[in-house]
Amino acid sequence: MYEAVHAHPDGDATAARHAATAARYGYEGVVVRTREALDPAGSGGGPGRSPSEAAALREEYGIDVVDAVEIDADDATSASGAVGNYRSSRTVVCVVGGDDGLNRFAVEEPRVDVLVRPMDGSGDFNHVLAKAARDNGVHVEFDLGPLFRATGGKRVRALSDLRKLREIATYYDAPHVVSANPRSHLELRAPREVVAAAEAVGFDAEWVREGIRAWSEIAARNRERRSEAFIEPGVRRGRYEEDG
């Protein structure tokens, strides 16, 4: 199971601190959403950085570290440009939703891996978006952060939104991911805690586990696609290609 975290400078803890804590809690990997926190896979390091920063963290803490980007744009046009810029250099590409235009753009764009926080702000999620997410393989994030950190009316509204989102996404078989959306290692929760808390407010435990595991499946799929041997799904370069 993987957790998707915000690391410094977007969050309050370094990628290394997140990795160390996640490993102790029993995660197999962390997806670092903050683009400035890690060098992209396959790149040379900047000043003061190792050329294989994520690999060094994997070796040190015994946990997979995935370079990702979370695109927080003002509108769909800006988001589209950012996706084009980062798709070739980041293993996982997420787009922050929160309004109808961004939500629609994300689920209709196959280059996007995850639509995150679709119910924030004025955003809504309906059957049209759910079917587009399913058809384009875009995962919809269920942010359980408010379950752990919000109180009062804000927590009640967030849970209501999550239940509505789950009903629509599951009915139309849209793929999903689950996260506690931690911005600090202190906000990380062990997988069993995430599952137990979600189950306590009415979510199916196995469905939550599937959402936590989905982060690792996205990373594995994209790493395969970026490998030199990959041509298209089900087709890979091999020694027989040269014979032709």
Confidence of residue 88 (pLDDT cuts 50, 70, 90): very high
pLDDT tens per residue across span 178-227: 999 999 999 999 999 999 999 999 999 999 999 999 999 999 999 999 87
Main-chain phi, psi angles of 96, to 5 degrees: -75, 125
Q: Is 235 helix (H, G, I), strand (E, B) or coil?
A: strand
Confidence of residue 98 (pLDDT cuts 50, 70, 90): confident
| pLDDT: which is higher, 18 or 124 | 18
Q: Which fold is adopted by the domain 2-243?
A: TIM Barrel (3.20.20)
Q: How far apart are CA 164 and CA 76, in angstroms?
A: 24
C-alpha pair distances (Å), 185 with each of 21, 105, 141, 193, 209: 6, 31, 20, 15, 21
pTM listed for this prediction: 0.88
Q: How far apart are CA 194 and CA 210, in angstroms?
A: 12
